Amino acid sequence: MATSRPSKRQTIRKTASTRQPAPVLYLYAISQIPDGAAPNIAAEAIDGAAHVEAIGCGEYLCWVSRVSKNEFADQLNERMQDLEWLATAGLRHQRVVGELSGHLTVLPARFGTVFLSDESLAEHVKGRKRPLGTAFERVADADEWGIKVFAVAAPKQPAAAKDASGADYLKRKAQLLKPRGDKKLDAEVQEFITMLTKLAVAASPGGKASAGQPGLVWHGSFLVRRRDRKKLELALSKYATRWKDVRRIDCSGPWPPYSFVGEHVQ
């Protein structure tokens, strides 16, 4: 039996109904325009499929990927409740920013920053020209370093002798239940923080996310000029030796200046 071919009008209508929604622009970072060619970024894009590209916005380059509006705009809050998705996407974001910072001075964008069009992104950057300039001056030739100070666990005490009386028992129990104090930093830790702050371009106190780590006394982030890296290493070594049996210093970096870009990139 012969079948009729769909008319041109029917075909167009069907194509229009199945067309995918326009993608959004996922922003990783903003950089100044380099003197030479912009680098090609090999790191996997935020969605694992798109590629990372640079869009000129005045005197800056915005590093973006064109991704699903449904996933990265309409349903982003729901997606972020999925810890497996969040871990994968967060790692991809960091890898792109990390590769970019190996080639250029960049201001990293906050995870999940999206724009609906090239025009809206360009307008966003245009309206923040002055604070962007200030931020680039601050982070030029500098890296972020994360510093943590931990208390070294005291050796286990031998089992206590049997209490001579009920009063002794209650006194010892009350001592065990006594609050550990108001967590006020002692003079040596304060001295350490002051030294780091003087060495750095800028400092940022640690947030609450890491505050629950066992033995953590203090943590913060510091923006340090690359020419001063040796000074940082010597200072950390000095205090690590002094605190050998009392405190432990953990240092991570160098990182892109995540903590020092300000709200103008978001």
pLDDT tens string 60-76: 999 999 999 988 888 88
Q: Which of 145, 265, 149 is nearest to 204 (CA)?
A: 145
Residue 150 and residue 94 share a domain: no
> Tokens 């966003």 correspond to what residue?
124
- Measure the CA–CA gap between 250 and 147, rounded to whole angstroms: 6
∠ Cα 42 44 46 (to 5°): 135
Domain housing 212: 142-154+184-265
CATH number for the domain including 193?
Answer: 3.30.70
Residue 146 and residue 120 share a domain: no
Q: Is residue 173 part of a domain?
A: no
Residue 95 has pLDDT above 50, yes or no: yes
What pLDDT is stored for residue 14 in this prediction?
41
Residue 50 and residue 90 share a domain: yes
Residue 123 and residue 26 share a domain: yes
Number of domains in the chain: 2
Residue 108 and residue 31 share a domain: yes
> Tokens 């300000």 correspond to what residue?
262
Chain mean position to CA 258: 5
Residue 46 and residue 86 share a domain: yes
Instruction: State if pTM tops 0.75.
Output: no
Q: Residue 9: how many CA atoms within 13 Å on its side-chain side? A: 0
Residue 146 and residue 123 share a domain: no
Alpha helices in the chain (DSSP H): 8-17, 69, 76-79, 83-101, 118-126, 129-139, 166-177, 187-199, 229-242
Residue 149 and residue 94 share a domain: no
Given a contact cutoff of 8 angstroms between Cβ atoms, the answer to whether 26 and 72 are in contact is yes
pLDDT in tens, 150-196: 998 765 555 555 555 555 545 554 444 443 444 678 899 999 999 99
The first and second tokens of residue 199, run together, are: 């060495």
Q: Is residue 146 part of a domain?
A: yes
Q: Is residue 216 part of a domain?
A: yes
Residue 90 and residue 39 share a domain: yes
Residue 239 and residue 148 share a domain: yes
Q: Is residue 9 part of a domain?
A: no
Residue 71 and residue 103 share a domain: yes
